[in-house]
């Protein structure tokens, strides 16, 4: 998670000219303000407000186009559909942070998108600024710290963030939203892949606030009694306890599987159940540590030690504290442990316990180096997909024009890191698509929210603003 203060560095007040004629001569502060007013946040992940991220000074701007979660197909298709917009959004973000170089991290397997991007970068005369770097098809190639290492050779320090090594990372959909923000379009929609054990797999643009159930029905399934739904990718996404929620700007995918599927059973285990299972049989083989992406980057993340202290109630605080270094990628729970234990959940248990007692991790080092055997321990996505029991569902999910037109949208006040947005509309007020309905509280980290359909505000609750669509729209 990226802290607010890390991004509050001093900016030059003016930064030259962008390739887009519409933003020529606009000051940096104006541009940041446009991104802020458009409500751009990290699309996917924790939803860090982008205007805060772009207020940093960095040497590199990195485009995370790895999309390493199995079955998700958003970023790769957006890059094929909107290469110019994404490149310009990346360029603008790079200029905003004062980067000397922009690097696009995309898996080498995307053989049609890569030449297209290269052609467009050349056509826009941006080759001296933007470079494409091909990534291996491994999990988790899209973890920010793995991406920084793969693209720049730099290791983000323990408990650090990319800006500590001069990098700011945005993903492809965020770059597209930055481009739109600079053309005065707010974030009102998000792109979602619907995949899994369903008749139709697809990717579609959805208004923020749409009921999740409306989206799920695009899969061709109407009755979800026998199904469970993962909100996000199969590795880091959570199983939804009910389907009553609403799409947010961060929504990236829904994986629909039968309730008895292996992955659903694994993901339904809670921390207490995991602790009981973990206690029975950890053989301290170290596989969870030896394959851990953060350990392989040289961090002191050693889940086998956390298993030891939690299983035997040892009071070694130093070993427990390393739980703070876990990025919750889930590789140890779902791939590495040969006997199906839950080291990630042991980390979570330790971290929660320490946080309650206000005990934090303090790193002893500043310079970190990837471990020398890292290259031999990377996990190919194909093997991971097979292990997860998803091979038969690893199919295309093409972008479609399917229209989802909910009668009412429920737009969450808090879709991002930081304080919830404060409503600036009243019940009964008529709003058009893109109108500001919630602003950032004064002096707070947060993001603005906007109407995603044209209609009337019908409810303002503690956590959402509801808008009913006009009958004739």
Q: Using CB under 6 A as the criterion, which residues of the chain lie in contact with ligand SF4 when the complex forms?
A: 282-288, 292-294, 301, 303-304, 307, 326-332, 336-337, 339, 341, 343-344, 347
Closest C-alpha to 342, from 294, 390, 310: 310
Strand-pairing partners, residue 238, are 231
Measured from the CB atom, is 101 or 286 closer to ligand SF4? 286
Measured from the CB atom, is 126 or 329 closer to ligand SF4? 329
Measured from the CB atom, is 249 or 304 closer to ligand SF4? 304
Burial code (b: 16+ CB inside 10 Å, e: under 16) for 400-436 equals: eeeebebebbbbbbbbbbbbbbebebeeebebebbbb
Closest C-alpha to 203, from 106, 89, 81: 81
Burial code (b: 16+ CB inside 10 Å, e: under 16) for 251-260 equals: bbbbbbbeee
**Smallest separation, CB 289 to ligand SF4 (Å):** 7
**Smallest separation, CB 292 to ligand SF4 (Å):** 3
- CB count within 10 Å of CB 359 equals 15
Measured from the CB atom, is 143 or 173 closer to ligand SF4? 143
Write the DSSP symbol of residue 59: S
Measured from the CB atom, is 103 or 307 closer to ligand SF4? 307
Tell me if 246 sits within 8 A of 408, measured CB to CB: no
**Smallest separation, CB 341 to ligand SF4 (Å):** 4
Measured from the CB atom, is 208 or 331 closer to ligand SF4? 331
**Smallest separation, CB 266 to ligand SF4 (Å):** 13
**Smallest separation, CB 234 to ligand SF4 (Å):** 14
**Smallest separation, CB 408 to ligand SF4 (Å):** 38
**Smallest separation, CB 288 to ligand SF4 (Å):** 3
Residue 127 phi, psi (nearest 5): -65, -25
Measured from the CB atom, is 132 or 388 closer to ligand SF4? 388
**Which structure tokens are listed for 364?**
């002893």
Dmax (CA) for the chain in angstroms is: 66
**Smallest separation, CB 133 to ligand SF4 (Å):** 23
**Smallest separation, CB 126 to ligand SF4 (Å):** 35
Write the DSSP symbol of residue 421: P
Residue 271's contacts (CB-CB under 8 Å, 6 or more residues apart) are: 345, 348, 349, 352
**Smallest separation, CB 196 to ligand SF4 (Å):** 22
3-state secondary structure (DSSP) of residue 257: strand
- Calculate the CA dihedral of residues 175, 177, 179, 184 and round it to 10 degrees: -160
- Calculate the CA dihedral of residues 112, 113, 116, 120 and round it to 10 degrees: 180
Alpha-carbon gap, residue 163 to 2, rounded angstroms: 9
Residue 297's contacts (CB-CB under 8 Å, 6 or more residues apart) are: 145, 146, 149, 155, 156, 368, 370, 371, 374
Measured from the CB atom, is 200 or 286 closer to ligand SF4? 286
**Smallest separation, CB 438 to ligand SF4 (Å):** 34
**Smallest separation, CB 62 to ligand SF4 (Å):** 20
Measured from the CB atom, is 186 or 336 closer to ligand SF4? 336
Tell me if 456 sits within 8 A of 437, measured CB to CB: no
Measured from the CB atom, is 221 or 332 closer to ligand SF4? 332
Measured from the CB atom, is 12 or 340 closer to ligand SF4? 340
Closest C-alpha to 103, from 61, 156, 148: 61
Alpha-carbon gap, residue 444 to 442, rounded angstroms: 5
Residue 325's contacts (CB-CB under 8 Å, 6 or more residues apart) are: 158, 159, 294, 299, 300, 301, 361
Measured from the CB atom, is 52 or 325 closer to ligand SF4? 325
- CB count within 10 Å of CB 358 equals 6
């Amino acid at each position: 998670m990226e802290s607010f203060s890390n991004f509050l560095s001093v900016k030059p007040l003016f930064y030259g000219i962008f390739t887009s004629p519409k933003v020529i001569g606009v000051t940096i502060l104006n541009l940041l303000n446009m991104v802020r007013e458009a409500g751009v946040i990290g699309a996917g992940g924790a939803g860090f407000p982008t205007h805060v991220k772009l207020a940093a000074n960095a040497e590199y701007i990195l485009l995370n186009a790895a999309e390493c979660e199995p079955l998700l197909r958003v970023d790769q298709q957006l890059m094929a559909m909107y290469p110019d917009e994404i490149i310009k959004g990346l360029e603008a973000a790079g200029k905003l942070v004062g980067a000397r170089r922009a690097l696009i991290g995309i898996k080498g397997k995307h053989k049609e998108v890569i030449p297209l991007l290269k052609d467009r970068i050349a056509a826009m005369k941006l080759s001296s600024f933007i470079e494409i770097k091909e990534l291996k098809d491994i999990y988790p190639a899209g973890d920010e710290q793995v991406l920084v290492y793969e693209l720049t050779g730099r290791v983000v320090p323990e408990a650090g963030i990319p800006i500590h090594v001069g990098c700011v990372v945005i993903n492809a959909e965020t770059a597209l939203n930055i481009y739109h923000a600079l053309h005065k379009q707010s974030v009102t929609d998000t792109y979602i892949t619907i995949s899994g054990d369903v008749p139709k797999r697809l990717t579609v643009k959805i208004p923020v606030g749409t009921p999740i159930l409306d989206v799920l029905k695009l899969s061709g399934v109407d009755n979800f009694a026998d199904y469970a739904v993962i909100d996000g990718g199969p590795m880091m996404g959570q199983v939804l306890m009910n389907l009553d929620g609403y799409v947010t700007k961060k929504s990236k995918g829904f994986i629909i599987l039968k309730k008895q599927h292996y992955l659903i059973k694994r993901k339904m285990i809670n921390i207490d159940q995991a602790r009981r299972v973990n206690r029975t049989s950890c053989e301290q083989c170290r596989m969870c540590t030896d394959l851990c992406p953060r350990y392989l980057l040289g961090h002191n993340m050693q889940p086998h030690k956390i298993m030891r202290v939690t299983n035997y109630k040892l009071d070694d605080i130093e070993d427990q504290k390393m739980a703070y270094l876990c990025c919750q990628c889930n590789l140890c729970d779902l791939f590495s442990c040969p006997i199906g234990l839950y080291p990630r959940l042991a980390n979570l248990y330790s971290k929660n316990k320490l946080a309650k007692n206000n005990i934090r991790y303090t790193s002893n080092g500043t310079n970190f180096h990837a471990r020398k055997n890292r290259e031999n321990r990377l996990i190919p996505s194909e093997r991971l997909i097979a292990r997860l029991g998803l091979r038969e569902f690893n199919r295309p999910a093409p972008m479609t024009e399917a229209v989802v037109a909910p009668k009412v949208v429920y737009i969450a006040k808090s879709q991002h890191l930081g304080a919830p947005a404060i409503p600036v509309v009243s019940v009964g007020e008529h709003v058009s698509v893109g109108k500001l309905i919630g602003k950032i509280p004064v002096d707070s980290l947060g993001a603005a929210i906007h109407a995603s359909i044209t209609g009337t505000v019908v409810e303002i609750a503690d956590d959402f603003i509801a808008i009913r669509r006009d009958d004739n729209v």
